[in-house]
Amino acid sequence: MSAPRGDGTREAGGDGPAGALRIAAAVRAGERSARSVVEEALSAVASGDSDLHAFVTVTADAALAAADEVDRAVAEGRDPGPLAGVPVALKDNLCTRGVPTTCASRILEGWRPPYDATVVDRLAAAGAVAVGKTNMDEFAMGSSTENSCFGPTRNPHDRTRVPGGSSGGSAAAVAAGFVPLALGSDTGGSIRQPAALCGVVGMKPTYGLVSRYGLVAFASSLDQIGPFATSVADAAHLLGVIAGHDRADSTSLPDPDPRPDFAASVGRGVEGRRVGLCLELVEGCAPDVVARVRRAAEDLEAAGAEVSEISVPEFRLGLSAYYLIAPAEASSNLARYDGVRYGLRVDGPDVAAMNTATRTAGFGPEVKRRIMLGTYALSAGYYDAYYGKAQRVRTLMVEAFARAYRQVDVLLGATAPSTAFPIGERVDDPLAMYMSDVCTIPSNLAGHPAISVPYGAGDDGLPVGVQVLAPALGEELLFSVAAALEAAAPAGGGPGAAAPVGSGGPEGAGR
């Protein structure tokens, strides 16, 4: 049987999900219409998403109108863009003009942004077609997509398991074959961890490489937008579309001259590359995950890389530092939700009572937990002891990365400590939930790029992701190593391996 196509249909004789590049090439050549591609994607969402709950909003009319515009461009001989007609899903913390943008929180109920995020504009300019907004942990705070006012998203490989978080809806949408591409945001692993648990490619770019204008902020010094895809090549092409300087974002990096060609780096191989298997990035992980990472190291060595073990002890400090820095920044960023300017408003006898009632009703338990933690860390008398010390640890992390990259070109490790865990298992154990990001946080603290590549299945048959980390602005190197991993990956757990959309998964559980 052929594998599910990335646009929700099946590719005759294909060996996996039809990627964005093949769809775009067919549309550009006039072999397929963008409307037919988008109609198939919308049909797949309509028939299968009641089971998964990957989407919170589907923009069918706007998507079809955009697809028709792509078809007009093709018919008139105009360039429809490199992603012509490719359906894309957007995490619901990316502003979209006139479309509800909720961050999966009641406090943004009814808010429709008057503008598009820069990445949304760039996707449209490239001919991609946004089909909807995906579910997420509220304000991107979580590792399971259970902290959502809309309810949890389920893993396409097993409906009783989480898809990871906070970008779980985007990861699930790609894994289920609804769309071949999606965007998420990564503050402490929120692209890579769900990519690993859902068996798709997920990549966090260098901080500042992709504009954050129009991304609803969680922790501004850590947030970064990045791609989900069914292949490394598709992820590289999507990054090429959304990357680049943006005057609207003060943290946006200037464009280098010449601009990097991420797509071209995919076929460069790893001959002579120095790969460091980072011991701290497998420490404490499940044995089946560790086995996959070590198998990946062996496969890279067989492909011509020089592989050695390396220790970066400072990585053990990452989780503690992150859970002071990120909540502190969130405490500041979320102060703007006061019931006055937009979103939910719960009336009270005076302004202070109205603010309190609005925030009490509007924020969920995890967001409240992090606001309180962050406010405490920033309070008088504790700032230096907590937030200031965490920032010094962050500097140590950056210095540790620099030392490591003098010995090796890239680091290799696990993306997540385990395969997807059961829904509800860690909801009442915040520390266990936070540990889900222990392998991904170091790259966010340093602002470096990293990618998760599906690498077979664990002992339970669920996907395992292997992570590659590179120095700042090392995306081309990152994609070349990731592509070599992808070529060597064992069967099972990757895109197209999910249970049929609409089924109950291995356990027969529906939503």
Token pair in block for residue 231: 């292949």
- Cα-based angle 274, 276, 278 (whole degrees, multiple of 5): 170
Which spans in 76-166 are helix H? 118-125
In the prediction, which pLDDT does 18 show?
Answer: 66
d(CA 485, CA 39): 33
pLDDT digits (tens, 9 = 90+) for 12-65: 223 334 699 999 999 999 999 999 999 999 999 999 999 999 999 999 999 999
d(CA 185, CA 204): 8
Which spans in 157-204 are helix H? 168-175, 192-198
Token pair in block for residue 57: 């909003």
Burial class (CB in 10 A: 0-12, 13-18, 19+), 75: exposed
> Taking 80 as the threshold, does the pLDDT of residue 506 lie above it?
no
d(CA 336, CA 4): 43
In the prediction, which pLDDT does 15 show?
Answer: 35
Instruction: Compute the average pLDDT of residues 336-340.
Output: 93
The CATH classification number of 20-316+393-488 equals 3.90.1300.10
d(CA 438, CA 427): 17
Question: What secondary structure letter does DSSP report for 450?
Answer: E
> Taking 60 as the threshold, does the pLDDT of residue 403 lie above it?
yes
Nearest to 290 by CA among 444, 441, 467: 467
Q: At what angle do helices 60-75 and 20-28 cross, to 10 degrees?
A: 50
Instruction: Compute the average pLDDT of residues 249-268.
Output: 94
Question: What secondary structure letter does DSSP report for 499?
Answer: P
Q: What's the pTM?
A: 0.93
> Taking 50 as the threshold, does the pLDDT of residue 4 lie above it?
no
pLDDT digits (tens, 9 = 90+) for 274-299: 999 999 999 999 999 999 999 999 99
Number of H helices, E strands in the chain: 15, 11
Average pLDDT across the chain, whole number = 93
Active site residue 166: yes
From the list 143, 144, 166, 480, the catalytic residue is 166
Distances 314 to 26, 111, 389, 394 between C-alpha atoms, Å: 48, 42, 14, 9
Residue 501, SS3 per DSSP:
coil
- Upper half-sphere CA count for residue 359 (Cβ side, 13 Å): 19
pLDDT digits (tens, 9 = 90+) for 182-208: 999 999 999 999 999 999 999 999 999
Band (166; pLDDT cuts 50, 70, 90) = very high
> Taking 90 as the threshold, does the pLDDT of residue 345 lie above it?
yes
Active site residue 91: yes
> Taking 50 as the threshold, does the pLDDT of residue 502 lie above it?
no
User: What are the two backbone dihedrals, phi and then psi, of residue 219, each rounded to the nearest 5 degrees?
Assistant: -130, 105
In the prediction, which pLDDT does 14 show?
Answer: 32
From the list 105, 148, 167, 190, the catalytic residue is 190
pLDDT digits (tens, 9 = 90+) for 234-245: 999 999 999 999
In the prediction, which pLDDT does 497 show?
Answer: 64
In the prediction, which pLDDT does 498 show?
Answer: 66
Q: At what angle do helices 20-28 and 34-52 cross, to 10 degrees?
A: 150
Domain ranges of the chain: 20-316+393-488, 317-392
pLDDT digits (tens, 9 = 90+) for 301-325: 999 999 999 999 999 999 999 999 9
From the list 33, 91, 170, 418, the catalytic residue is 91
pLDDT digits (tens, 9 = 90+) for 349-402: 999 999 999 999 999 999 999 999 999 999 988 999 999 999 999 999 999 999
pLDDT digits (tens, 9 = 90+) for 74-120: 999 999 999 999 999 999 999 999 999 999 999 999 999 999 999 99
Instruction: Compute the average pLDDT of residues 134-139.
Output: 98
